[in-house]
Amino acid sequence: MAVVLSITNQKGGVAKTTTTLALAHAFARGSTQKKVLVIDLDSQRNATSILLDSRDITPENSVYALFQTNKTISSTLHATKKENLFVIPSSLHLVEVESQLTGALDGFFRLNDALQTLRQEFDYILLDCPPSLSVITINAMVAADFLLVPLQISKFSIDGIQNIRDAVTTVNRRYNAHLKIAGGVLTLHDTRTTLAQAMIPEVEKILPILKTTIPRSVAVEEAHLMRQDIFDYAPQNKVASAYTKLAEELLSLFAHYPTQQA
Ligand SMILES: Nc1ncnc2c1ncn2[C@@H]1O[C@H](COP(=O)(O)OP(=O)(O)OP(=O)(O)O)[C@@H](O)[C@H]1O
Ligand SMILES: [Mg+2]
């Protein structure tokens, strides 16, 4: 049974997609060698554009289909050039889903329903969320076992984290009692800024922060441009070793909990 990890923060540009891609590769490669699925829930399609060659993505073979009541899930699964790594791509049609789900009685459960079969096929399912606390992000929270919150420390990020925390409390009470916060992960982190260091205790009042932090490196943007993962592009880079550590930290955290539908 898969562990479902939602990478969530309504703030834009905090490295959700970068973290999703790096963790997906870390889980699928090396000694871990697990079967991994990335679901791109963002109509910006950033994860999709890195993982898939340009090919025809239609509503029927993309994440759009997962949100429909009559769905064929198998047609949405795409192999990537990496062994063990699959993606359900995003499509521009995803923007229509917002209005389709608003007012639908089961509007928050469509993704969770779709994952019931996918959970049997994969070891890890990673959900790359859009930068909003939309009905799609709530679907991710309802479907997930764990929430990972990439964040940069600032006054505004603290306000945003409180909103995520409140959403998790509501989701726990009403929709998915199993959802756990794996923690916040400091991305684009600069340990030299004393302001950021000083604000960490404020963030920790709202949600736990994982031990591993992800430093900045130009290699991340370069790897994206080359459509490569950070481990292939710059295996010796500090960001590659940080994401390896983050993957290990998460794996030991997952091991402490039974998964949702096990
Ligand atoms: N460790 C890093 N070092 C340097 N640049 C990084 C790092 N992580 C991410 N970036 C860059 O920061 C930008 C935002 O990253 P990313 O797209 O992963 O964020 P996001 O939270 O998914 O954004 P959005 O909210 O738009 O979906 C990208 O240009 C990415 O290449
Ligand atoms: Mg993104």
- What is the DSSP track for 110-176? HHHHHHHHHHHH-SEEEEE--SS--HHHHHHHHH-SEEEEEE--SHHHHHHHHHHHHHHHHHHHHT-
Residue 196: its H or E element: helix 194-204
In this predicted structure, what is the pLDDT of residue 196? 75
In this predicted structure, what is the pLDDT of residue 103? 85
pLDDT of 114 higher than 90: yes
DSSP result, 35-51 = -EEEEE--TT-HHHHHH
Separation of CA 151 and ligand 1 centre (Å): 11
- 259 falls within a domain: no
- 218 falls within a domain: yes
Separation of CA 162 and ligand 1 centre (Å): 21
Number of structural domains (the chain) is 1
Q: Identify the residue whose tokens are 């989701």.
A: 171
- 230 falls within a domain: yes
Assign 233 a pLDDT band (cuts: 50, 70, 90).
very high
**Planar angle of CA 88, 212, 244, nearest 5 degrees:** 55
Per-residue pLDDT tens over the stretch 186-208: 998 776 677 777 888 989 999 99
Ligand 1 close to Cβ of residue 217 (< 6 A): yes
pTM, full prediction: 0.96
Quick one: tokens of 154? 């600032």
Per-residue pLDDT tens over the stretch 34-50: 999 999 999 999 999 99
Nearest to 14 by CA among 229, 240, 188, 198: 188
- 181 falls within a domain: yes
Residue 185: its H or E element: strand 180-186
Torsion 201-204-206-209 (CA) sign:
positive
Residue in 17, 38, 40, 44 to alter for ligand 1 test, most ligand atoms within 8 A of Cβ: 17
- 260 falls within a domain: no
Domain with 95, as residue range(s), is: 3-254
- 261 falls within a domain: no
Least confident of 140-149, 153-162, 197-206, 239-248: 153-162
Which CATH number is 119's domain given?
A: 3.40.50.300
Assign 262 a pLDDT band (cuts: 50, 70, 90).
very low
β-sheet bridge partners, residue 7: 128, 148
pLDDT of 72 higher than 90: no
- 262 falls within a domain: no
